[in-house]
Amino acid sequence: MAFKTLYNWLYAGRLSRGNLQVLRHKGKRQKPPEKRGTIGKSIRQRLKAIRDRDTFGHWELGTVVSSRGKSKACVTTFVERKTRFYQAIKMPNRTALSMEIAFGVLAAQYPKSAIQTATVDRGKELACHEALEQLHGVDVYFADPYSSWQRGSNENANGLL
């Protein structure tokens, strides 16, 4: 049995809860509990074909914020999962309204069938996810907290940007 399984069982309370101070990392490597509630569809509800990159039209979204000066400007980035096509659109700030406008700019450039789903992180700019679903007929899926690898194409492309 793998040590990770034992730790998972220990933290979940499936093993007798002992003194965590005797463990190598003293319980410090355990992820903090998520404080925010669920805000939309989980990535776990996404179809297998999307995960396997079998079909076109499934996008990963993210934002890159300027680290220079006091500028609030940022860029929202879109990566199509199958082709790895990357597009960045400048936004004045990280508000839901700015994200709605940027998504509208992307959607206006392509036929409706080219944007079927969006996988996003839990940033405040995605508070508009219900509006995106209604206006553009897109299913929006949220990655798990602290799980940036679930949107790996977007994270990698943002790093290159």
Instruction: Give tens-digit pLDDT for 104-119.
Output: 999 999 999 999 999 9
**In the chain, helix, strand, coil percent, each to 5?**
40, 20, 40
- pTM for this prediction: 0.73
pLDDT value at 69 more than 70: no
Instruction: Based on DSSP, count helices (H) and strands (E) in the chain, helices before strands.
Output: 5, 6
The CATH number given to 41-160 is 3.30.420.10
Q: What is the pLDDT of residue 7?
A: 73
